[in-house]
Structure 1
Amino acid sequence: MSHRHLVTGPRHTLIHLTPAITLLLGVVLVLVMLVSIGVGAVAIPLETVWGVIANRIVPGSVAADWSAGRESIVWEVRAPRIALGAMVGASLALVGAALQSVTRNPLADPHLLGVSSGAAFGAIFVLLHTGLFLGVVTVPLFAFAGALGATALVVLIANLTAATSASRLILAGVAVSFIITAGGNLFIFMGDPRAAHTVVFWMLGGLGLAQWNQLVFPLAALVVCGSYIIANARSYNAMTLGDESATTLGIPARRFRLVTFIVCALLTGSAVAFSGVIAFVGLMIPHIVRMIVGGDYRRVLPLSALLGALFLVVTDMLARTVMAPQDMPIGILTGLIGGAFFIILMRHNRAVG
């Protein structure tokens, strides 16, 4: 299913303003991240937030007139959490946009294709049955292995059932997602009830366990895989036209789709390993971007990354205030927002329904 859009009227103007929109979104993202660090059970003024961060980056650059407790809240608790939220939001949005192109299905996202379920399965297995026997990298490695395994299973089932078309690939992904989710639930049922409670909260999505020394993994995945996806924007444009058209343009469609699945598995596994399962970000954000600037992936991909990061940072800020002083799992909020968006999308695009 193609994402081509007619460029008329106001949208034509917005397309020409894409660089300005990108810059504006980047500035807004940084400002919202700073504001978000100050929001929570203990409110911290923006000038204090900025002072703590500046002092950490360049020691002695700002006179420290704040307490050690506030500095700890800003730098050790909230700043890594907000940074992780931005990385996860950008990663999931890029994955959603890429998968929607190579499957030519506007409903494709890491959750529906089983990639998120596979990553969650790997992480659950570690947390409940093996422990961190490889140290801090154990959960990310197993989450990535689960995501990659789910991707391989989707491709295998698609081949065995002759579901080689992009549209039927989605059906294989949904089936794999249900099966793997059932396996993860079985692991939870068989595991230690005390540990299972922690895993259930993690499965609902959250950023509260973020630590600076762990952010290198999702950051590295975002930089490497995100660069690959954005660098191949023209290929994703071609893939929306169908395999035959893409092949005519010199793109090996099946191989490119497989590589995209692997890259998306790495991005999703890295995100899920540290944030839990956060659904609908990859579905919503690319659609919103296409509504604004059209279907050209040279614009869709970078704007999706920025808007996805902004969306998750704002959603996390809401999650910390709705039930303060407790944190609401962020996956609950994204599920509510995403479900409403899904209904609106079906209402306005009957072809999707």
Structure 2
Amino acid sequence: MSTDTQRYPASLSQQIYDLPALILNARLADALERGIARYPIHRSLRFAARTGINAVFDDLAANLDLTGQRPGSRSLILDGEGLFVEAHAGHKADYCSFHFGIWADSVARVEGLIQAIETRVAQVRIDEAMFSIDWHFLGGRGELQSTSIEELADDELHDEAYPEIGDVAGFIDRYLRAKETVLVLQGRPGTGKTRLIRAILGEMSRRNGGSAQALYTGDKKALECDAIYVKFITGDDHAFVVEDADHLLRPRAQGNEHLHRFLAIADGVVRGQGRKIIFSTNLPNVGDLDDALVRPGRCFARIDVRELLRSEATALIHRLASRRGFDAEIALAALAAAGGKTHSLAQIYQAMDRAQ
């Protein structure tokens, strides 16, 4: 029998599904066994750049005096004396986003590497305010997984698009300053709920020095496990966004077994830290929501994000046309051709695109 087996009759196992985590966990386990601090310092670096993933990763792998490995098309490992870097990238239509997890043996080493990375990407880095969507879902093995992407905080909202709110900028300001945690956006698909959520996250970013992070999910199974709530409570996310949360918001008397988790965190450490919980739902009536969720003191507002009446849609189109510099009558004719007495924002913006 080996001496290791004699010394450690109990074993600790962990399933690792990606190469960087396998390497890092093996090194940390070895360091603990030897009683040394190999990577006591950790930092994260996020940014977006108007260039390709390969252009950034190839440059960093070749010019940082670190050993570079590419486990996949959207990932990079950088390894060197006192440093280990795991990088992931995402691709959008006109830019790419990057997230670096950096482990180091000293603050000076990690700060030097961050400065070197920022110097190399300075010419292509996007300087506008951004927010990070950390999308969570349940993997095939039943474990909570996530992927993140940086989003530009460039959504422009118009008061005419949200008649139930009126002053949209003022509403967002009051919500972010309020002690209440919860916001519920209720309405049919295409009415602008996601656009409003993005604007809220964008304003969070601007108030946080140009960056904010939101834990996001629409996965029913992910919301049924405790891991995602632990992640939010113990993590650095500024907001928890749950879209299409119909099943989660129904009254507990109707068999809803999961809302109590949100009720607990909404009044706990999350509220004390000023973080927010935002739900969007297609449920049509306020009576479809649990009373405890929307009670005063916990819920800042429940907004009915509805379709626009013809007169309201006309006002919005005139506003958009004046901003974009073309004839509003063309878009109004396209909208009229669609028929109906009310129109969603999706239909209005589609009519605008056709007019242009």
Tell me which of the two structures has the higher relative contact order, counting C-alpha pairs closer than 8 angstroms and 6 or more residues apart: 1
Normalized per residue, the structure richer in helix is: 1
TM-score by length of structure 1 reads 0.24
TM-score by length of structure 2 reads 0.24
